[in-house]
Amino acid sequence: AQSVAQPEDQVNVAEGNPLTVKCTYSVSGNPYLFWYVQYPNRGLQFLLKYITGDNLVKGSYGFEAEFNKSQTSFHLKKPSALVSDSALYFCAVRVLSGGYNKLIFGAGTRLAVHP
Amino acid sequence: SAVISQKPSRDICQRGTSLTIQCQVDSQVTMMFWYRQQPGQSLTLIATANQGSEATYESGFVIDKFPISRPNLTFSTLTVSNMSPEDSSIYLCSVVYRSSGGNNEQFFGPGTRLTVL
């Protein structure tokens, strides 16, 4: 079955330190991978995606993600965390099912950045 | 990006009643999706709603419980019928839209927070 796993329910990091939010995937064929962020009482916002090409993808708000095919991972990273980065982060993979492209989401990881 | 609005933003309903959620997009889009996010959980796709065809439901979701309308390329509704407390969730509308960069991206509305008593 095609799926996405986010092994950490919560990640805590001090402001100014680098952060990593982990994601692994299981899909057939070449994966289309995404990261979304959900701030409190707001909808999901697109951060970045990997389709093909350079394994290091840069996105919004200074985030980046590294695609690693051998480890089937797509970890989200940021060199220096901000308190305002505190939110719920979702990794997702696009799959073709029933004639439609659909997003399958991981369980989400809550990022808490402390001053 | 596409701007998506949903009405209502939140509601508290009695069990056994029905609620219709509206989704309005500021651009014409072919593909629209409805997701459910139960408390503390991830997003689960309910159905795909394309204009001019019947909605396609995911496993575990049926039309009688979640009827969907898609009358035009900018609007859709999702009805949660005969509600029970287990239907308490955030319901999100989503669209695929060609962004300024020329790529198709999936955008999400702000969600409708439903509480069923």
pLDDT of residue A76: 98
Q: In a mutagenesis test of the A interface, which of B6, B38, B43, B104 is the best target, namely the one with the most A β-carbons within 10 Å?
A: B43
pLDDT tens for each residue of B67-90: 999 999 999 999 999 999 999 999
pLDDT of residue B101: 65
B43 touches chain A (CB under 8 A): yes
Q: Test A102 with B45 for CB contact under 8 angstroms.
A: yes
Mean pLDDT of chain A: 92
pLDDT of residue B97: 81
Beta bridge partners of A113: A13
| CA distances in angstroms from B43 to A30, A89, A112, B39, listed in the order given | 23, 12, 20, 10
The region of weakest confidence among A36-50, A68-82, A90-104, B31-45 is: A90-104
Nearest to B1 by CA among B104, B114, B112: B104
Chain B, residues 49-88, CB within 8 A of chain A, namely 56
Q: Test A102 with B107 for CB contact under 8 angstroms.
A: no
pLDDT tens for each residue of A35-67: 999 988 777 898 999 988 889 999 999 999 999
Please give the distance of CA B97 from its chain centroid, rounded to a whole number. 16
pLDDT at B102 exceeding the cut of 90: no
Give A-chain residues touching B109 at CB under 8 angstroms: 43
Q: Considering only alpha carbons, which residue of chain A is nearest residue B57? A: A98
pLDDT at B100 exceeding the cut of 80: no
Q: Test A90 with B43 for CB contact under 8 angstroms.
A: yes
pLDDT tens for each residue of B10-53: 999 999 999 999 999 999 988 899 999 998 888 999 999 988 78
B8 touches chain A (CB under 8 A): no
Q: Test B108 with A44 for CB contact under 8 angstroms.
A: yes
Task: Kindly indicate the confidence band of residue A98, based on its pLDDT and cuts at 50, 70 and 90.
Answer: low
Nearest to B31 by CA among B43, B46, B49: B49
pLDDT of residue B98: 75
Nearest to A19 by CA among A10, A29, A7: A10
> Which candidate from A43, A46, A98 shows the least CB-CB separation from B92?
A43
pLDDT at B2 exceeding the cut of 90: no
